[in-house]
Amino acid sequence: DIVIPNVGESVTSGVIASWRRAEGDFVQRDEPVLDLETDKITMEVTAPASGVLHHGAKEGDEVGIGAVVGTVDESAKAAPGKVEPAEAPKAASKSAEPKVDAPKTPVAGAPVAASVPAAEPGERPRATPLAEKMAQELGVDLSRIVGTGASGRIREQDVLAAVQSRGAGGASGAAPVAPAAGEGPSRGVSRERMSPLRQRIAARLVEAQHTAAMLTTFNECDMTAVMELRKRYKEPFEKKHGVGLGFMSFFVRAAVNALRAFPLVNASIVTDEEGRPAVEKHDYCDIALAVASPKGLVVPVVRNAETLSFAQIEAKVKDFAVRARDGKLELSELQGGTFTITNGGVFGSLLSTPILNPPQSAILGMHAIRNRPVEHPDKPGEIALRPMMYLALSYDHRIVDGAEAVSFLVRIREGIERPERLMLDL
């Protein structure tokens, strides 16, 4: 039996995002056969034995933890036309006639085998639900794509490759289809079920709005010093540590500095043993970083950020970004956190009011850097064009007072405008 494994205490069900291998395929033990999407992460489920695969649930079905979603027939052999992986080279040498076999999932970046044709005209292409959604959003014609999944199934990676090829002048993507003569614009409507992750995000955001007395305070900081420091040491930093020097490490260190000065911003409201509200303080700084992934917002946590160097923080940031994009974050990395930082500036946001990440008491919003005329910090009365960033701190007014929130944000600004304070822990 192929059984949905226990992912974590808070995860009770998931949705079968895609079957990697088709019905009747011969699979090897521990080979990934399906992708399960939960409200926290997307994970692979592997075959418990070698044999012929039989599906017991469809793509898009919601299944509970411990549910049997398919079987592997250990006594069965590979079906005609489906070569067992271990016998593929042998089978190829026995026959001079070309044979089309079910392809393996290729290594990223490997060329797509031409033995699996694209869909015939009029035939609905076989694609995973995520690939279909991505193709619809990006305007890609699935019938022109050669799938690299099981039995030629089109995966999201294939859609992205088609988009990249189209951007480079290739013909893999679909051109926009103009309405036929006499036809008006399309007024079609489509519906699709919200993914477990998107449902979880929605529930958390509503929870934050309903339970916290949320308020946002704003400030702005001059990025000149950080930008000059980064420009001066960017190359030697990357050469020594193997990772680029970005802005996030400065803001994480500034946040740690401010959280130590204002510990209530690093605290949470909880329920004690007697069921009464209590304030839970933390002597550590677990900084959660909001990261955009193809399937939605995820918030991996940098544990004990107060003990990490700039290079270690940057390495964490890069690792989280890559694995969030590939859906490889572990559930344990998304749990906990005492304070959150979100950077809408990477998408061009100039100002926003970030929503709390319960049960945390505050979240810092970074924004786009824009040159604006301001008073020169070292020459009072003189106007200068400086690279400025708006900062926003949303906080729970039940536990953090306004004066404390404003002072906290000023402390962040001071650390960014005078980065030597971060080095000296001032």
Residues involved in catalysis: 397, 401
Cis omega before residue 359 (within 30°)?
yes
For 294, the token pair is 């193809």
Q: Are strands 214-222 and 383-396 parallel, antiparallel or unpaired?
A: antiparallel
CA distances from 387 to 63, 217, 349, 373, 406 (A): 51, 21, 15, 9, 22
Nearest-angstrom CA–CA distance, 284 and 260: 9
Which residues sit opposite 293 in a β-bridge?
296
* Cα 170 → chain centroid: 28
Which residues sit opposite 387 in a β-bridge?
371
Nearest-angstrom CA–CA distance, 382 and 367: 26
Is-contact 342 301, C-beta < 8 A? no
Nearest-angstrom CA–CA distance, 104 and 100: 12
Q: What is the DSSP letter of 87?
A: G
Is the torsion defined by CA of 300, 303, 306, 308 positive or negative? negative
Neighbour-count burial of 144, counting CB atoms closer than 10 A to its CB (0-12 exposed, 13-18 middle, 19+ buried) = middle
**What ranges in 188-294 are assigned the alpha helix state H?**
196-211, 224-241, 248-261
